[in-house]
Chains A and B, each alone.
Chain A
Amino acid sequence: QLQLQESGPGLVKPSETLSLTCTVSGGSVSSSSYYWGWIRQPPGKGLEWVGSIYYSGSTYYNPSLKSRVTISVDTSKKQFSLRVTSVSASDSAVYHCARLSGNYFPESWGQGTLVTVSS
């Protein structure tokens, strides 16, 4: 059964870089059938797609975040990662990693990790 687990610091200072990793078990990030992505949810608010990556390394980002976001994949470690630069309080959120079907919809989600941006 597919499992996705996010890991990374829960507290990041303003203007610094947020870095998270998603470890995939029970499935392969090298599969040509799926995309792998990040979705965030500020406390008490709605969901926002951050971006996605294909096993080949092709990346796709939310236009509103594109200048600050990088997603990468390490197939040997069965992981994919998220970096968000120059963070501010508005980047505070629960960050979920997810497997997406054809990048059309997230079908499996990690439990999420809360990242707070504060000095």
Chain B
Amino acid sequence: QSALTQPRSVSGSPGQSVTISCTGTSSDVGGYNYVSWYQQHPGKTPKLMIYDVSNRPSGVPDRFSGSKSVNTASLTISGLQAEDESDYYCASYAGSYTLLFGGGTKLIVL
């Protein structure tokens, strides 16, 4: 099993939209609708933002949305705000009760 592939960093200006990709294989991202996304501010605990590809937990703004196409999942943040600057990690079920995480993406709000 190899880690899911995420861009090292993405950036956007306040009010804009950004998309973070998460690429896996047919054995993980492409094989199951169990992709999740986490926001982690420096020194803090990861926070669940999206689960089951596109579902938002209660309390997560609807500016955050998730999708998937074949072996690549995406997290889109619209109406970018300064507080969105953070590290974002994707995760996917990989069969046989195993989980894979992505390497993480640093979102920079310009």
Contacts and interface: CB of A to CB of B under 8 A. Distances in A.
The answer to whether A and B interact is: yes
Interface of A: 37, 39, 46-49, 52, 60, 62-64, 96, 100-101, 103-107, 109-112
A84 B48 CA distance: 27
Interface of A is mostly: strand
A66 to B, nearest CB: 10
A49 B48 contact: no
Interface string B30-41: 001010101000
Given A47-B104, A49-B99, A106 B1 contact: no
A112 B34 CA distance: 24
Contacts of B12: none
Given A46-B101, A49-B100, A104-B34, A96 B45 contact: yes
B36 A60 contact: no
A105 B89 CA distance: 12
A48 B104 CA distance: 11
A111 B89 CA distance: 17
B97 A109 contact: no
Nearest to B100: A49
B51 A101 contact: yes
Contacts of A109: 45-46
B91 interface: yes
12 contacts: A37-B99, A46-B101, A46-B102, A47-B104, A49-B98, A49-B99, A49-B101, A52-B97, A63-B1, A106-B46, A107-B48, A107-B51
